[in-house]
Structure 1
Amino acid sequence: MSRKFWILGLCLVLLLLAFFLWPETPGEIAPPEPPVQGTAPPPD
């Protein structure tokens, strides 16, 4: 594998990482709301 492909692959990986780990708005990736306790019926 030539060096050019290494650099291209590295750039692609970096771009993907930045795309997934760097949301433009922090509110985009919000943790799911925890279920409210007491709504589920008690087990028998």
Structure 2
Amino acid sequence: MHSLWPAIMDKNKTGVLGLFWKAARIGERLSPYVSIACILIGINQFFG
């Protein structure tokens, strides 16, 4: 969504809607780590 309409996301950097903006930035930057963690948790649940 951010690549299509950056103004929609970037105008809400402050206030309550700023939490969604911050979560989106964190999700973009941590996605490889989060995906590896999800895979490891899935393997742990499957074999554990």
The structure where helix makes up a greater share of residues is: 2
Pairwise same-fold verdict (TM > 0.5)? no
Instruction: Report the TM-score when normalising by structure 2.
Output: 0.39
**Greater RCO structure (CA 8 Å; 6+ sep):** 2
Structure whose CA Rg is larger? 1
